């Protein structure tokens, strides 16, 4: 029990650290907006403005305000402070639909995870963080250097594998990423790994040949006997609403099963989490908050909202 509390507190502390910028700027304003404020149209208008400018997005903002207004009516609420509490509950309720309970790892057999996303969003760093997390959970992890586009990308992943003391499958720069992935799946099966995480080169969603290449990698994983693999999209939180457009294209190409949102430490607009959840309805797996191995928190709705408004 003590350990459980400690783990929970540590997680909250991490989330608090991650969301400091968001909390201190826009979301902080929400808290003070409700303090002693009459419940009138001006309050709803100001709330709408704050939410939209925090990257919550129009769809999620309108839905949230409607839900809060309904609760204010049905619960006969008259105090601003109570509205604030109701709003937090409604955000938790919306976000609860986007939580995944057990990450990427299956209970038995090999879990294959294909990491995709635009250039520089944090794919390779996130792979290292996830590998670190799964290793701590006692899983046998192997990496595939599927970004053969740049020699430095292969080296970057090799350095992480060395640091983490885990296996990696890589080919020469310029090699076919499909061949790397095929070899990696075979190696993972024959060596009895639990999780294989595949790095891929960053790509613009508008480059159709590169999106085709991802589809091909997807098919190769299936051909190697891994039909149920996951495609995880990495999104940079600082790019705001543009992330939503990227997500739509990557979903069309490879069927994104989960999202990791990175660089939340670098933005004051944590509201993007709500926009992603509401508009894309894709589960949010982890939040990334820095360049160190431990800077990754599993996404949990209540902890997230508590940290955002703490
Ligand atoms: N502040 C911060 N920086 C991050 C985070 N995740 C990654 N970075 C940094 O972002 C930069 C790009 O990270 P990579 O992991 O190389 O990104 P990538 O998506 O693999 O990039 P490409 O392979 O070039 O497409 C590096 O300097 C990372 O240290 C994060 O959560 N917060
Ligand atoms: Mg990379």
In this predicted structure, the answer to whether residue 4 has a pLDDT above a threshold of 60 is: no
Whether ligand 1 lies within 6 angstroms of the CB of 168 is answered as no
What are the two backbone dihedrals, phi and then psi, of residue 288, each rounded to the nearest 5 degrees?
-100, 140
Arithmetic mean of pLDDT over the chain: 88
Q: Whole-model pTM?
A: 0.90
Q: From CA 100, how far away is CA 282, in angstroms rounded?
A: 10
Alpha carbon of 126 to ligand 1 centroid (Å): 8
Q: From CA 246, how far away is CA 234, in angstroms rounded?
A: 10
Of the ranges 129-133, 244-248, 287-291, which is most confident? Answer: 129-133
Alpha carbon of 59 to ligand 2 centroid (Å): 32
Full 3-state SS string of 52-118: HHCCCCHHHHHHHHHHHHHHHHHCCCCCHHHHHHHHHHHHHHHHHCCECCCCCCCCCCCEEEEEECC
In this predicted structure, the answer to whether residue 74 has a pLDDT above a threshold of 70 is: yes
Sheet holding 284-288: strands in order across?
167-169, 141-146, 195-200, 111-116, 230-236, 258-262, 284-288, 296-298
Q: Write the pLDDT tens digit of every residue in 152-211.
A: 999 999 999 999 999 999 999 999 999 999 999 999 999 999 999 999 999 988 888 899
Q: From CA 260, how far away is CA 121, in angstroms rounded?
A: 10
Whether ligand 1 lies within 6 angstroms of the CB of 238 is answered as no
Helix (H) or strand (E) holding 153: helix 151-164
Ligand nearest to the CA of 126: 1
Nearest atom of ligand 1 to the alpha carbon of 288: 31
Query: What is the pLDDT, as a whole number, of residue 6?
Result: 46
Which of the four pLDDT bands, split at 50, 70 and 90, describes residue 223? confident
In this predicted structure, the answer to whether residue 95 has a pLDDT above a threshold of 90 is: yes
Beta-bridge partners for 99: 284
Whether ligand 1 lies within 6 angstroms of the CB of 236 is answered as no
Ligand 2 (single-atom ion) residues, CB below 5 Å:
123-124
Q: Which residue, by CA, sits nearest to atom 14 of ligand 1?
A: 122
Whether ligand 1 lies within 6 angstroms of the CB of 109 is answered as no
Helix (H/G/I), strand (E/B), else coil: 236: strand
Full 3-state SS string of 160-200: HHHHHCCEEECCCCCCCHHHHHHHHHHHHHHCCCCEEEEEE
CB under 8 Å to 61, separation ≥6 — which residues?
A: 48, 51, 52
Whether ligand 1 lies within 6 angstroms of the CB of 146 is answered as no
Whether ligand 1 lies within 6 angstroms of the CB of 289 is answered as yes
Ligand nearest to the CA of 117: 1
In this predicted structure, the answer to whether residue 61 has a pLDDT above a threshold of 80 is: yes
Q: From CA 282, how far away is CA 115, in angstroms rounded?
A: 15
Q: Write the pLDDT tens digit of every residue in 99-125.
A: 886 666 666 789 999 999 999 999 999
- Counting ligand 1 atoms within 8 A of each CB, the residue from 19, 116, 118, 120 with the most, and so the one to mutate, is 120
């Amino acid at each position: 029990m003590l350990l459980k509390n400690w783990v929970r507190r540590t997680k909250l502390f991490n989330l608090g650290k991650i969301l400091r910028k968001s909390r201190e700027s826009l979301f902080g304003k929400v808290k003070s907006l409700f303090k002693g404020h009459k419940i009138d149209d001006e309050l709803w208008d100001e709330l709408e403005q704050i939410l939209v400018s925090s990257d919550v997005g129009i769809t999620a903002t309108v839905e949230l305000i409607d839900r809060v207004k309904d609760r204010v009516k049905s619960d006969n609420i008259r105090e601003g402070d109570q509205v604030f509490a109701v709003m937090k509950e409604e955000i938790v309720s919306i976000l609860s639909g986007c939580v995944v309970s057990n990450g990427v790892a299956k209970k038995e057999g090999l879990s294959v995870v294909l990491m995709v996303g635009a250039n520089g969003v944090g794919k390779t760093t996130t792979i290292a963080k996830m590998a670190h997390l799964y290793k701590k959970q006692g899983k046998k992890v192997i990496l595939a250097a599927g970004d053969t586009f740049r020699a430095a990308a292969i080296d970057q992943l090799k350095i992480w594998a060395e640091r983490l003391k885990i296996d990696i499958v890589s080919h020469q720069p310029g090699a076919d990423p499909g061949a790397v992935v095929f070899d990696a799946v075979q190696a993972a099966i024959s060596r009895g790994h639990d999780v294989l995480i595949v790095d891929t080169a960053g790509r613009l969603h508008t480059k159709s040949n590169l999106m085709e290449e991802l589809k091909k990698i997807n098919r190769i994983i299936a051909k190697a006997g891994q039909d149920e693999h996951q495609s995880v999209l990495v999104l940079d939180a600082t790019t705001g609403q543009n992330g939503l457009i990227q997500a739509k294209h990557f979903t069309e190409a490879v069927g994104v099963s989960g999202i990791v949102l990175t660089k939340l430490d670098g933005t004051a607009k944590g509201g993007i989490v709500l926009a992603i959840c509401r508009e894309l309805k894709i589960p949010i797996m982890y939040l990334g908050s820095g360049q160190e191995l431990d800077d990754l928190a599993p996404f949990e709705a209540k902890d997230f909202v508590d940290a955002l408004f703490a």
